[in-house]
């Protein structure tokens, strides 16, 4: 995944986010701590008070949100997850889902707003009635075509987080 580098004449790639956050469905936004700015360079995405609650799967000091905004943090890698990490994501999703159902403006973010945030937002969409395929397609259409390119995360969504955690734990004692 490369961003457009206008200074070197590289081709533009449409698979990265070109805005700090994207509304996936009304009231539910997906974003990152970085996005590709108009100049083609990675740019800081600093949240202030645009949202009622921010759910971060990656944390960086100085990127917000404002003190009066609810902020929840769960650090997970953009990689294969352990059973305990999948369960933690499942619990995190339940909290996002409650705030979303209550009509709050929600931002779910990770580093670039592509995979970890996509996993959580897609699971909220699935719990709202979409199939895994529809949820992934919606995110790719609304955020970036390269969103949810982590094949493990897509498999977790297709399997269901609870079953994915159970299967991952087999033989590991996790």
pLDDT tens figures, 142-158: 999 999 999 999 999 99
Task: List, as one string, the DSSP characters of 91-107.
Answer: HHHHHHHHHHHTT--EE
Q: Over range 95-115, report the average pLDDT.
A: 97
- Distance in angstroms between the alpha carbons of the first and the last residue of the chain: 33
- Strand-strand pairing, 70-73 and 53-56: parallel
Give the per-residue pLDDT at 174. 74
Asked if residue 140 has pLDDT above 60, the reply is yes
Q: What is the pLDDT of residues 28-54, one digit of tens each?
A: 999 999 999 888 898 999 999 999 999
Give the per-residue pLDDT at 2. 39
**Mean pLDDT score across all residues of the chain:** 91
Q: What is the pLDDT of residues 77-93, one digit of tens each?
A: 999 999 999 999 999 99
Asked if residue 1 has pLDDT above 90, the reply is no
Prior bond of 65 cis (ω within 30°): yes
Give the per-residue pLDDT at 14. 60
Q: Over range 149-169, report the average pLDDT.
A: 97
Query: CA 90, 69, 32 angle in degrees (round to 5)?
Result: 60
């Amino acid at each position: 995944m490369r961003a457009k580098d206008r200074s070197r004449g590289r081709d533009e790639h449409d698979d990265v986010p070109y805005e700090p956050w994207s509304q996936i469905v009304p009231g539910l936004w997906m974003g990152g701590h970085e996005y590709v700015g108009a100049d083609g360079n990675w740019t800081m995405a600093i949240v202030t008070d645009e949202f009622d609650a921010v759910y971060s799967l990656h944390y960086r000091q100085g990127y917000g949100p404002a003190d009066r905004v609810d902020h929840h943090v769960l650090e997970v890698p953009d990689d294969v997850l352990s059973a305990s990490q999948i369960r933690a994501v499942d619990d995190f999703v339940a909290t996002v889902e409650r705030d979303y159902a209550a009509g709050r403006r929600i931002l779910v973010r990770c580093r670039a707003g592509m995979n970890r945030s996509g996993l959580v937002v897609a699971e909220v969409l699935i719990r709202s009635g979409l199939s895994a395929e529809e949820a992934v397609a919606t995110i790719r259409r609304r955020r970036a075509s390269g969103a949810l390119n982590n094949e493990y995360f897509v498999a977790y969504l297709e399997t269901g987080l609870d079953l994915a955690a159970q299967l991952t734990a087999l033989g590991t004692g996790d």
